[in-house]
């Protein structure tokens, strides 16, 4: 075999290795999900969703945890959405190239890399203790809002960046002010992209466990929260609690609850991808 053939062979071998690696993660994910479906699907029925937690595995349901997750989702959206989008708009449209903007930029990039559990420690000290909110849904939602803020800001900036300059120029030429241009032209034009980012960020918040454990969310709450100051549990914490119990029945419960959690996560991701595709077409 001469060196040309050798090199071509190597090339082909790498191609096969490349396909194998690409499929490796996906195949494992499929195996995992298949395994979870086998373990948990029989456990899912209406009672599993509407029952309160119990010491007996077969009587336990996810009602309080699911309600806690929904409360967290709603409050986190209300808190993080306006602040994140406003900060993104400021950085993209108003901020001038100076030391403050450089500081904001490096700071946001750094915050995006801070481990989620550190946000938990921040929430524990500032919201739970100093602001004495206790281990409430509100304290949890505030903590998660800070956690996903950098994701929303980055997504907002990307979406606004993609709006062509001609649209702004046309608005200014008609005599619109800066804010009128942003509100009436730039934000509607970038709405799809912003929405994509916000939904992805929220889907991350729904799956977060560690910061809420640190803030003091409980594994067992007898009732679903009825106001923002109530104590709460969330689906991931309920799953974590069930995984750490030795009896087999709870493993089945954990698998069933994971199916529900994955369903929520994947549906949110699907919606986000849908918006992204729809919005990308607009500028092409």
Partner 1 sequence: MRKIKELVIEKSLLSSALVTIAVTFGIISVLAIEAFRFFSEVSIFDFFTDTQWTPLFTDKHYGILPLLSGTLLTSFIAISVALPVGLTISIYLSEYAPRSFRKTIKPLLELLAAVPTVVYGFFALIVVTPFLQQFIPGLSGFNSLSAGIVMGIMIIPFVSSISEDALHAVPKDLKEASYGMGATKLQTAFKVVVPAASSGIIVSIILAISRAIGETMIVAIAAGQQPRLTLDPTVPVETITAFIVQVSLGDVQHGSIEYRTIFAAGITLFVFTFLLNTLSYRIRKKYQEKYE
* Range 124-143, binding partner 1 (CB under 8 A): 124-126, 129
Residues whose CB is less than 8 angstroms from the CB of residue 168 and which lie 6 or more positions away in sequence, other chains included: 181, 185, 186
Q: Exposure of 174 by Cβ count < 10 A (0-12 exposed, 13-18 middle, 19+ buried)?
A: exposed
Residues 19-38 that bind partner 1 (CB under 8 A): 19, 21-22, 24-26, 28-29, 31-32, 35-36
| Residue number, 129 or 282, with CB nearest to partner 1 | 129
Determine which residue in the list 52, 167, 224, 265 makes contact with partner 1, applying CB under 8 A.
265
Residues whose CB is less than 8 angstroms from the CB of residue 7 and which lie 6 or more positions away in sequence, other chains included: none
Confirm or reject binding of residue 87 to partner 1 (CB under 8 A).
Answer: yes
CB of 274 to partner 1, least distance (A): 11
Determine which residue in the list 44, 162, 219, 271 makes contact with partner 1, applying CB under 8 A.
219
Confirm or reject binding of residue 220 to partner 1 (CB under 8 A).
Answer: no
- Cβ-contact 256, 41 below 8 angstroms: yes
Residues 156-215 that bind partner 1 (CB under 8 A): 177-179, 200, 203-204, 206-210, 213-214
Residues 66-85 that bind partner 1 (CB under 8 A): 82-84
Determine which residue in the list 41, 47, 78, 86 makes contact with partner 1, applying CB under 8 A.
86
SS3 content of the chain, % helix, strand, coil (to 5): 80, 0, 20
3-class SS of residue 231:
strand
Confirm or reject binding of residue 42 to partner 1 (CB under 8 A).
Answer: no
Determine which residue in the list 65, 139, 146, 195 makes contact with partner 1, applying CB under 8 A.
146
Confirm or reject binding of residue 50 to partner 1 (CB under 8 A).
Answer: no
CA atoms within 13 A on the CB side of 255: 17
The span from the CA of 112 to the CA of 146, in Å, is 10
Confirm or reject binding of residue 258 to partner 1 (CB under 8 A).
Answer: yes
- Cβ-contact 256, 231 below 8 angstroms: no
CB of 30 to partner 1, least distance (A): 10
């Amino acid at each position: 075999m001469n060196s040309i053939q050798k090199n071509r062979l190597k090339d082909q071998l790498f191609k096969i290795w490349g396909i194998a690696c690409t499929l490796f993660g996906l195949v494992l994910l499929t195996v995992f999900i298949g395994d979870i479906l086998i373990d948990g699907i029989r456990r899912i029925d209406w009672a599993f969703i509407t029952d309160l937690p119990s010491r007996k595995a077969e009587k336990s349901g996810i009602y309080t945890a699911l309600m806690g997750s929904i409360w967290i989702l709603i409050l986190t959206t209300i808190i993080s959405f306006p602040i994140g989008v406003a900060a993104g708009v400021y950085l993209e449209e108003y901020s001038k190239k100076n030391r403050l903007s450089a500081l904001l930029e490096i700071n946001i990039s750094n915050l995006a890399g801070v481990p989620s559990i550190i946000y938990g420690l921040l929430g524990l000290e500032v919201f739970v203790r100093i602001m004495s909110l206790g281990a409430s849904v509100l304290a949890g939602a505030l903590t998660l809002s800070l956690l996903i803020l950098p994701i929303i800001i980055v997504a907002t900036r990307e979406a606004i960046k993609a709006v062509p300059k001609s649209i702004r120029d046309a608005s200014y030429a008609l005599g619109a002010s800066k804010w009128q241009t942003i509100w009436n032209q730039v934000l509607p034009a970038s709405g799809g992209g912003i929405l994509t980012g916000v939904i992805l960020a929220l889907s991350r918040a729904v799956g977060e466990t560690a910061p809420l454990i640190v803030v003091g969310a409980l594994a067992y709450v007898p009732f679903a929260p009825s106001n923002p100051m109530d104590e709460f549990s969330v689906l991931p914490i309920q799953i974590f609690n069930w995984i750490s119990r030795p009896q087999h029945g709870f493993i089945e419960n954990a698998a069933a609850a994971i199916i529900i959690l994955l369903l929520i996560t994947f549906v949110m991701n699907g919606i986000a991808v849908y918006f992204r595709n729809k919005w990308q077409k607009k500028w092409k």
